[in-house]
Structure 1
Amino acid sequence: MAAVLTNISYCLTNPEDDLRQFDIYYPEPSKSTEESQSQSSSSLICFIHGGAWRSEDKRDHEQTARNLVKATGCPVAVPNYRLTPRNNTDPAFFHPMHVLDMLQFLSFIRGWKPAPSSNGASADGHRAFNSNSLILLGHSCSAHMLASVFLHNPDSRLAPSPELASAVKAIVFSEGIFDIDLLLARFPDYRGWFVEAAFGAAPSFDEYSVVKYPLLSRGSSSPISWLVLHSKGDTLVDQSQSDAMFAHLLDIAGPENVSLNVDSLKEEHNDILATDTYANLVGDFVKKHVH
């Protein structure tokens, strides 16, 4: 079973805030020197949970993280971020609060090293990872969050540092929300359920449509590899969201850097995450595209 360190703060100004902490799962250390060295230089997978910007917790995704460790051989970090209260009208809890937390986490973890005896576990050599090789997984609303940073957002607060931008090698979206107006056309009740709480009341949310954002400049870094997943069994977010993002990525990133799979997953919106199929799709993608 994967080793785990839990409740690690990425917010130095408020380390007790459990909504700005993360857990990290590791492959079991190998007794082989060659395999141990390979583990210590592996990519880091960061799974960002969904929940309509208002719910879920990193602990809900322990099985997903363990499956991903097994399928990829990489450590997997699962962060929390601050959530929007139900029926919220306070702009402090509007977008991009959640994205800023995620950006803080990603910036933090690139320089993070586990302290000896943290949560009762020693900082063994196998607990290292390559901080210049990040694989980011976004599900549902967190797919929108990742796209808000790693496509070129007009909001300068959400620009990643050049170092972080170049460290991201691959991004996987599953059951993503990308175009909120398109989502509301299909599910109008979502406006009162969670959209206005997270974005404020507005006749249109076109400015937050990440399927209109251009490609982020990465200097001389190699292009990001993108995978868009959608389940045929999802009744909460329809496939038009993933189709729109896939078409946009094809246009701006090119077919050599973008993949789509809408055939392999059959389960409901969140149920896909605990399946071996989801983990294996990510694992196969990582092995093919991340070196």
Structure 2
Amino acid sequence: MSLHELLDVQYDAGAGGSAHPQRRLDLFVPSSGLADAPTPAPALLVFVHGGAWRAGDKSEHTELARKLALEHKVAVAAVNYRLTLRDPPPGTKGLVSHPMHAIDVLQAIEFLYSWPAEGKRTPKSGEVDRPELPGSGYDPERLYFIGHSAGAHILATLFLQAPALFDLPPTPTPIVKAARGVLLSEGIFSITRLLENFPSYIAFIEPAFGRSTAGESGSKYDIFSANHYDLREGAEHIVWWVVHSSGDDLVDIDQQELMYDSLEVLLEDEGEGLVRKDWDTLTADHYKAVDEPRFSEIVGELLKA
């Protein structure tokens, strides 16, 4: 089996829009190699990288995307999004902060959801042509998601119900309905607990989520903590995997325990299998856990949901 690869696809290139260089994605679509034997379109797996909301790039996970696409015969999209500046000069305008990262990822998901149909129509005036999907493309009604580290927080923000005060458009109902499973790996969820355990992380939390008044860090950052979010309407069917490596010394298991417990309560999951965990079989560090063979096995189990 071979792969068709579409790299650096601009997902915000719409009519009248200004394309941003970080709003791009890579797509890997498996091919059976049998031109005379049409096969059903594969499901789509969307990978959202981490990097503390200020670093990371889809290109760092190209080999992982290829591996998952080939092993599981699934289309894989690796998504970039705008990043928060580490040390912005005073007075800098247009700074990227929460929920702008999530808005970008949602736009990428909407682009991917509509691509199979939109790519077959004539673009409107001012629109950029979408690349033609190779082979049978993928099935937008079978969506799976992986979020690593900060990427896990982004996906939880999109597929759970974040506070209404966020300037974040709701995830469209058809996309929520099409979502089958979400895998959260080495995730950051409770920002309050994260700062209790790793006070130095305020260096990347403040630029991404805003400055907290001294003595009020809990009340300030609790509203950004995904373990406090509600269940999004229509998302009751989604299967969640919460994954953690014992070798991760950057994000502790407290984060995974809080998120797992919250999901169990939200989904009233009493043996239904909607909330699953794996905290014992991965051993690599924070960054390399997703490259372990066992991680691919977990993805395979996710794709059966």
**Scaled by the length of structure 1, what TM-score is found?**
0.89
Q: Which residue of 1 aligns with 2:6?
A: 5
The answer to which of 221-230 and 60-69 deviates more is 221-230
| Partner Cα distance (1:77, 1:93) in 2 | 23
Letter matched to residue 26 of structure 1: V
| Partner Cα distance (2:228, 2:84) in 1 | 25
The total of aligned residue pairs comes to: 278
Give, in angstroms, the shift of residue 222 of structure 1.
Answer: 6.0
8 A Cα contact 2:227 2:262, kept in partner:
yes
| Partner Cα distance (1:122, 1:153) in 2 | 35
SS in 1 for 2:202: helix
Q: Which residue of 2 aligns with 1:201?
A: 211
Letter matched to residue 139 of structure 1: H
Letter matched to residue 192 of structure 2: D
| Partner Cα distance (1:201, 1:243) in 2 | 26
Q: Which residue of 1 aligns with 2:149?
A: 140
The answer to which of 201-210 and 153-162 deviates more is 153-162
Q: Which residue of 1 aligns with 2:123?
A: none
* Runs of at least 5 residues in structure 1 that lack an aligned partner in the other structure: 116-120
Q: Which residue of 1 aligns with 2:172?
A: 161
The answer to which of 233-242 and 1-10 deviates more is 1-10
Letter matched to residue 265 of structure 2: D
Give, in angstroms, the shift of residue 87 of structure 1.
Answer: 2.6
| Partner Cα distance (1:125, 1:268) in 2 | 37
The answer to which of 21-30 and 131-140 deviates more is 21-30
Higher radius of gyration, 1 or 2:
2
Q: How does 1:67-86 map to 2 (within 5 A)?
A: 67-86=67-86
1:187 to 198, 221, 224: 198
The answer to which of 234-243 and 6-15 deviates more is 6-15
Q: Deviations over 1:107-161 (max 9, x none)?
A: 111111468xxxxx974433x1111111011110011111111111123624111
Q: Which residue of 1 aligns with 2:300?
A: 283
1:261 to 278, 300, 304: 278
Give, in angstroms, the shift of residue 60 of structure 1.
Answer: 0.8
SS in 1 for 2:47: strand
Q: Does 1:92 align with 2:103?
A: no
Q: Does 1:235 align with 2:245?
A: no
2:233 to 213, 217, 241: 217
8 A Cα contact 2:163 2:223, kept in partner:
no
| Partner Cα distance (1:200, 1:123) in 2 | 40
Q: Does 1:251 align with 2:233?
A: no
8 A Cα contact 2:249 2:285, kept in partner:
yes
User: Using a 3 Å threshold, how does the CA distance of structure 1 residues 49 and 273 change in structure 2: closer, same or farther?
Assistant: same
| Partner Cα distance (1:258, 1:33) in 2 | 41
Q: Deviations over 1:226-249 (max 9, x none)?
A: 111000000000011001111111
SS in 2 for 1:2: strand
| Partner Cα distance (1:123, 1:97) in 2 | 28
| Partner Cα distance (1:125, 1:73) in 2 | 13
User: Using a 3 Å threshold, how does the CA distance of structure 1 residues 29 and 216 change in structure 2: closer, same or farther?
Assistant: same
| Partner Cα distance (2:169, 2:284) in 1 | 33
8 A Cα contact 2:4 2:134, kept in partner:
no
The answer to which of 152-161 and 244-253 deviates more is 152-161
| Partner Cα distance (2:133, 2:154) in 1 | 31
Q: Which residue of 1 aligns with 2:39?
A: 37
User: Using a 3 Å threshold, how does the CA distance of structure 1 residues 283 and 33 change in structure 2: closer, same or farther?
Assistant: farther
1:151 to 149, 160, 181: 160
Q: Which consecutive segments of 4 or more residues in structure 1 shift more than 4 A?
A: 88-91
Identical-pair percentage: 33
Q: Which residue of 1 aligns with 2:56?
A: 56
8 A Cα contact 1:148 1:158, kept in partner:
no
8 A Cα contact 1:181 1:206, kept in partner:
yes
Q: Which residue of 2 aligns with 1:118?
A: none
Between structures 1 and 2, the one with greater helix share:
1
What do you get for the CA RMSD once the two structures are aligned?
A: 2.3
